[in-house]
Amino acid sequence: MQTRSKSGIFKTIYPRVNLVQNEPVSVKDALSNPVWQLAMQMEYDAHIKLGTWFLMPLPPNKKAIGCKWVFRIKENPDGTINKYKARLVAKGFHQKHGVDYNENFSLVVKLVTIRVLLTLVVSNQWMLEQLDINNAFLNGILDEEVYITQPLGFRNKDKSIVY
């Protein structure tokens, strides 16, 4: 039997770098660190720039859903820190079917599609590059009105105002 090691094929294992900083578990922890403050500000600015929302008073017959910050440290293959990512997500699990939404859709790529694409790349000797699109989900168009509470750390003085 011919194994990978007998064929001279070895997987490169990068030593893990022990992170001095951990991902914050609360917004209070994140706001106390300037690196995470910057990540949160970049996410918030992306929402403002793309016109994802605007401030308004909550209509009397509507209910606002909450939102929360999710923090991740993105690493390079060798374990060094690539970037600090803060994402603002809506707590959609508070919504009720038929009241707040009628259908949901999640775009997921199938493994067969990836294999076909890679086969085309190899057979045509094309260059293959990876692309990361920041805030791609902010470009979706909603037919419904969704109201969310103001995010922690970026609240207006008037708490009755929602996005």
* For the chain, domain boundaries: 27-162
- Dist CA 74 CA 162 (whole Å): 31
Q: What is the pLDDT at residue 5?
A: 73
Using 50, 70 and 90 to split pLDDT, how confident is the model at 99?
A: low
Beta strands, E only, the chain = 56-57, 67-75, 81-90, 161-162
Left, alpha or beta for 138 (phi > 0: left; psi -120 to 50: alpha)? alpha
> In one letter, which amino acid is 1?
M
Is the backbone of residue 37 left (phi > 0), alpha (psi -120 to 50) or beta? alpha
- Spell out the residues 6+ positions from residue 149 whose beta carbon is closer than 8 angstroms to its own: 64, 65, 66, 67, 162, 163
Asked whether the predicted pLDDT for residue 106 surpasses 80, the reply is no
Whether pLDDT at 18 is above 60: no
**Mean pLDDT, rounded, for 75-94:** 83
Predicted local distance difference test score (pLDDT) of residue 121: 93
Q: What pLDDT, on a 0 to 100 scale, did the predictor assign at position 126?
A: 94
Per residue in 23-67, pLDDT (tens digit) is 888 888 898 999 999 999 998 888 888 888 888 899 888 888 888
Q: What is the pLDDT of residue 17?
A: 53
